[in-house]
Amino acid sequence: MAPTSLNSWLSYIESQHPSEIELGLERGRQVLHRLNLSRPKNKVITVAGTNGKGSTCAMLTQYLCSQGFSVGTYTSPHFIAFNERIALNNLPCSDELLCRAFEVIEAAREDTPLTYFEFSTLAALWIFDQSELDYWVLEVGLGGRLDSVNMIDTDVAVVTSIALDHTDWLGDNIDIIAQEKTGIAREGKLLVSGVVNPPSTIETTATSIGAHLRQKGRDFHFTQQATSWSWQGNGIEFQNLPLPNLPLQNAATVIAVLSYMGFDLTFDDLATLFSTAQLTGRFQQVSSSPDVYIDVAHNPEAALELVQRIGRLSKAPIAVCGMLKDKDINSVMQHLGGHFSQWFCADLGGARGAKAGELLHALKTFAEAGTVKAEAFSSVSSAFDAALKIATEEERAIIVFGSFVTVSDYLALSASKG
C-alpha cells in the first residue's frame, strides 16, 4: 500500500536502501534522466564546504528573493520538520507538495534503489522544476563530487571552507577533501572559493575541470574593524558594512558570488542583507531570560568560530554540549574547553550518538586542571534543565551546541514547553 502522509513517506524512503550514505551519482542520474526535468530560468548555484554551507545558502537566497527573483533552496539536515529542507522563496514546502514529489520519484525510480538523501534530492529538483523558478540554490550534503546534489550540472559552484570532517568518506587529508568538494564545478562555469589558506588542489582541480576560479585572498578580500567590515574585489569596494549575524567569512564569500555572477550590488542592499539574515542554529539567540544561544558547531573549524562569538558576550557562558562519536571530539574540546567555566554534557541517542562520559574524558584531557566544572547527563533535556538553574541564579548565558541533533533536541524541548 502506497504511503499517504509525509511521515509514512519518510519512513518508507528510509527503508528503501540498506545504507544511509552511499556516495555515487549513477543511481540518481538514472532516475533524473527519466524525470526529464528542466532547469531554472537563470542559474543553478551549488554550495559545498566543511562549514558555512547553510549560512551561505541562506544569504544567497535572501538576497535573490529581495531582488524579486523566485528561488528554490535545498538544504540539510532539518531540525524539526523535513519540510525545512525544501523551500520555495524561503518558505518550507507543504506536506501535500512533498508527498506528490515522493510519488513521482517512486514511480520514476522503477527498480533503482535510492538512499534517503538521493530520494530527497530528486524530490527537491522535481518540485523546483514544477515551480518554474529563476534560481535553484543547492547545498551539498556530504563531500561534493560524489554527493547526489552533484547529479545536476551547476552554473555557479561555491566552496565555503575546507577542514577535516567526514574522514571515513572523504579522506583523511585536506588536499583530498578539497579535491572532492571542488568536484562540483563545471567546465566554463564560475567557481568561487571562500576557503582561507586554500589547499593547492582547489586550483589544480578547477584547472583540470576548466572552471573559472575566483579565490578569497587572491581575487577578493575582506577586513574586519571593531564594529564594521570592508570588502574588495572584482573592481569594486564596500566600506563600513555592518557586521553580519552569520559568520563574516561566509558573508564575504556571498558578496563574491553575487559580484562575479554580475549583480549590480549596492551598499544599502548588502547592509540590509547582513543585518537581517538569520539561520536556525547558527549562534542564534533563542531566549533572553536567561540568555540562551544555539549553535550546531561540531568540528574544530566551527569551534574556533564559536570561540570568537562567545568572546563578545557580556555574560559568562556555560555549555550544554552533546556530540556525535564520529566527530573530532578531542579537537573541539581542545579549542573550547577553557572558554566555559561549567559544562553540562549530554548523551545523544542513536547509533552515532556519543555518551556524555566521552566528552568529559576529552575535557579532562584538554582543559586546564581545576578550571572547568563538568557533569554528565542522560539527555539534552536534563543537561539543559541543570544549566538553566545555574544560569538563572548566577546570570550566565547558556550555549547549546555540538551537533544538529543537540540543537534539534533543544528545539523540541522548547516547543514542548510552549
Residues 50 and 157 in one domain: yes
- Cβ-contact 399, 303 below 8 angstroms: no
Residues 299 and 258 in one domain: no
Residues 140 and 289 in one domain: no
pLDDT, position 179: 92
Question: How far is residue 271 from each of residues 88, 230, 239, 245, 333, measured CA to CA in Å?
Answer: 24, 11, 11, 11, 35
Residues 307 and 265 in one domain: no
Give domain status of residue 169, yes or no. yes
Residues 266 and 374 in one domain: no
User: For the chain, what is the domain count?
Assistant: 2
Say which CATH number the domain at 358 has. 3.90.190.20
Give the C-alpha separation, 319 to 212, whole Å.
43
Please give the order of strands across the beta sheet that includes 291-295. Answer: 284-288, 291-295, 397-401, 317-321, 342-346, 373-377
Residues 254 and 379 in one domain: no
- Note every long-range contact of 62-66, with CB atoms under 8 Å and residues 24 or more positions apart, other chains counting: 62/90, 62/273, 62/276, 62/277, 63/254, 63/258, 63/269, 63/273, 64/134, 64/135, 64/137, 65/89, 65/90, 66/269, 66/272, 66/273
Residues 260 and 158 in one domain: yes
Say which CATH number the domain at 49 has. 3.40.1190.10
| Residue 348 cell numbers, joined | 545523544
Residues 292 and 191 in one domain: no
pLDDT, position 146: 85
pLDDT, position 135: 98
pLDDT, position 167: 47
pLDDT, position 26: 87
pLDDT, position 31: 96
Other C-beta atoms lying within 10 Å of the C-beta of residue 287: 14
pTM recorded for the entire structure = 0.91
Residues 158 and 21 in one domain: yes
Residues 174 and 262 in one domain: yes
pLDDT, position 186: 98
Ranges of the chain whose pLDDT falls below 50:
166-167, 169-170
Give the C-alpha separation, 284 to 382, whole Å.
21
**Which contiguous run of DSSP H or E holds residue 380?**
helix 380-394
- Residue 49: which domain range? 6-276
